[in-house]
Structure 1
Amino acid sequence: MRARLMLPGFLLIFLVSVFLSGCGTATQHAQGTAPAAATHTESTPAAPSEKRVIKHELGETEIVGKPARIVVMDFSFADALATLGVAPVGISDDSDANLIIPEVKEKVGTYTSLGSRYEPNMELISSLAPDLIIADLNKHKAVYDKLKQIAPTIVLNDHQANYEHMLANYAVIADAAGLKEEGKKRLDEHQAKMDAIKAKLPKTDAKLKILPAVVNPTGFFAHSNASYAGSLLEYLGLEDAAKSEEAYPKTNLEQLVALNPDVLFLMKTGDKTIVDEWKTNPLWQNINAVKNGKVFEVARNKWALSRGLIGSELSSEEAVTLLSGK
């Protein structure tokens, strides 16, 4: 069942319309040759009819034609552009190209690392002479005024987005990139892929209670039904054990035992996590997922960072494979 979400009005309207319409040093990451369709070379001058107004979380932004030099300030936006055959000139990748999943990396090719997603380097961004910036509401609201002085900027609620909200964000990005029809086609392809993946999920008498979570040395952060990962798994027909309006509630061992998920999908950050400590506690053995050998380690960059069509398809396929024991 889909997780319910009251989407912002402009996003819901836009998504429906799409379906109905039929301070550091710049680092160059060379990821091989990008596909021919993926380009950030200069485009030809746009005709006046190509002017459009993009509604986003912080207002409206006028864009003309197809932007040729796009800067993205989170991983999900790189995922979106990769599906559209567009290579961004700059990506906020936390100075670690390995955080971009290979399936996206091979499509975006060579780009300039913008460093931290949380501390934008304005000078570096400006030096790339972008003609479109795509930013996250949670991380970049405070610097929106500075960003839009550099280039037309759209701000999307990515960090707090669930699966349906991600799809709406994708439609906005496609329109901003001047590829609205291509975006619609890719959304249709995505729907078909997800339906096929969903059909492979093992049938059970009752819904499996699952819980995706990011774990690090100091905490266990459940990804609730309000989160991207949780709502994606619920779309497949599973049930997120953590029901919360908060997307990423920090959860202690006693609370986890009370949630008692049948399956745990753990996204580790670091070699040692709090779960290593919990494993020595008898309470850990009371969790159904532990008792039944259903504690799986999955990649955080695929399951939580690449919140896009590619990431969704890959993590869904992996979830079904793990649950079916193949």
Structure 2
Amino acid sequence: MTTSIRRHGLAAGSLALAAAMTLTACGSSDSSSKSGSADASAGSGTHTVKTAMGEVEVPDAPKRVVVLDTAELDSAITLGVEPVGATHADATSGFLPYLPKDKVAGIKDVGEMMTPNLEAIAALKPDLILTSKVRHGAQYAELKKIAPTVMTETTGYPWKENFQLHADALGKKAEAGKVVAEYETHAKKVTDALGGKEKAAATEVNVVRFVEGADIRIYGKQNYISTILADVGLGRPAVTDKAKDGFSYDVSPEKIDLADADVVFHSTYGDPKKAKQTQTLDGALWKGMSAVKNDKVFAVEDQLWIQGIGYTAATKILDELQADLTK
């Protein structure tokens, strides 16, 4: 997921942490329904998890988990763990709406994804923090003082491997195996619904994202959504091979016809006008694409298709793929 990034300075982070630790030392506690003692898992065992920051000792069954990105939140919810705290994806939205409302209702918002509030995190007295090095590596020293912090190297494309690490940290490896098996069965059913592997492979699909403050992105093959398309066995147009680092091939509205394919899915991050969605979809180049003429263009939710990053999101995406591609 790509968002506007505003990072804490390390000095500011240290001050916030110091204040937080002072508060917790004085016996402050979270007033939410998920409040509990700092040693909620006291008496239970621990195990070692290999992370992007080295080996980390974590509780066997953590009770007060804080997650700092959308992938980690999806993983926790998927595995039946309701975090006590989580960040939100951007300044204008709360937790991603595709997640079950009853599972996120009691979660404390601890700030924007790239600028988590360390004092708020510490006040929750977590026994485990989940995030990634690419997001919060610069704050690892502060975070691990609050609770054992498990970081994957990055997010997005390696989401399946990251999910396994999250499951290990949460003590949910058995549950993770069931989730993966169900997903693989689901993906195969979608392939079958499309007419089988050969027909799916013959259907070339593009995913286009309109992003406020950036060029239009034609997604390549090294990102979250591409892995789901690959699991179904869908074809991808040659333009996807031009994607920088496999992630995306960025174009202006004047080159949007490069996104043409048998089927085009598109989403928007930010204001549609500022993201160039409005002018592009009203333009002659877009309207002249074969996918548009054949009524094979589908608008999808950015918060699900691009920002979600996990098995709960992927399951919903599979359902939407089947529904749209069998019309």
Same fold (TM over 0.5): yes
What is the aligned partner in structure 2 of residue 91 from structure 1?
A: 86
Q: Name the CA shift for 1:304/1:259 in 2 (closer, same or farther; >3 Å).
A: closer
Distance 1:113 1:69 in 2: 14
Aligned to 2:306, the other structure's residue is in SS state helix
Q: Tell me how far 1:264 sits from its aligned partner.
A: 1.6
Aligned to 1:148, which of 128, 138, 144? 144
Q: Name the CA shift for 1:95/1:68 in 2 (closer, same or farther; >3 Å).
A: farther
What is the aligned partner in structure 1 of residue 12 from structure 2?
A: none
Aligned to 1:86, the other structure's residue is in SS state coil
- Partners of 1:214 and 1:220 within 8 A in 2: yes
What is the aligned partner in structure 2 of residue 268 from structure 1?
A: 268
What is the aligned partner in structure 2 of residue 130 from structure 1?
A: 126
Distance 2:118 2:322 in 1: 42
Where do residues 169-318 of structure 1 align in structure 2 (5 Å cutoff)?
A: 169-202=162-195, 204=199, 207-218=202-213, 219-241=215-237, 242-243=240-241, 244=243, 245-269=245-269, 270-272=271-273, 273-318=275-320
Q: Tell me how far 1:299 sits from its aligned partner.
A: 0.7
Superposed CA RMSD in Å reads 2.6
Q: Tell me how far 1:252 sits from its aligned partner.
A: 2.2
Aligned to 1:167, which of 134, 138, 160? 160
Distance 1:40 1:289 in 2: 52
Q: Tell me how far 1:81 sits from its aligned partner.
A: 1.0
Task: Name the stretch that deviates more: 296-305 or 233-242.
Answer: 233-242
The runs of 5 or more residues in structure 2 that have no matched partner are: 1-15, 17-29
Task: Name the stretch that deviates more: 52-61 or 306-315.
Answer: 52-61
Distance 1:205 1:299 in 2: 23
Q: What is the one-letter code of the residue matched to 2:286?
A: W
Q: Name the CA shift for 1:282/1:102 in 2 (closer, same or farther; >3 Å).
A: closer
Q: Tell me how far 1:215 sits from its aligned partner.
A: 1.0
TM-score by length of 1: 0.79
What is the aligned partner in structure 1 of residue 42 from structure 2?
A: 45
Q: What is the one-letter code of the residue matched to 1:178?
A: G
Aligned to 1:221, the other structure's residue is in SS state strand
TM-score by length of 2: 0.78
Q: What is the one-letter code of the residue matched to 2:205?
A: I
Q: Tell me how far 1:130 sits from its aligned partner.
A: 0.9
Q: Name the CA shift for 1:190/1:41 in 2 (closer, same or farther; >3 Å).
A: farther
Distance 2:282 2:104 in 1: 43
Task: Name the stretch that deviates more: 224-233 or 203-212.
Answer: 203-212
Aligned to 2:109, which of 110, 113, 120? 113
Task: Name the stretch that deviates more: 259-268 or 294-303.
Answer: 259-268
Identity of paired residues, percent? Answer: 26
Q: What is the one-letter code of the residue matched to 1:184?
A: G
- Partners of 2:85 and 2:108 within 8 A in 1: yes
Q: What is the one-letter code of the residue matched to 2:42?
A: P
Answer with 1 or 2: which has the greater Rg: 2
Q: What is the one-letter code of the residue matched to 2:232?
A: L
Distance 1:66 1:314 in 2: 28
Aligned to 2:220, the other structure's residue is in SS state coil
Aligned to 1:293, the other structure's residue is in SS state coil
Aligned length: 286
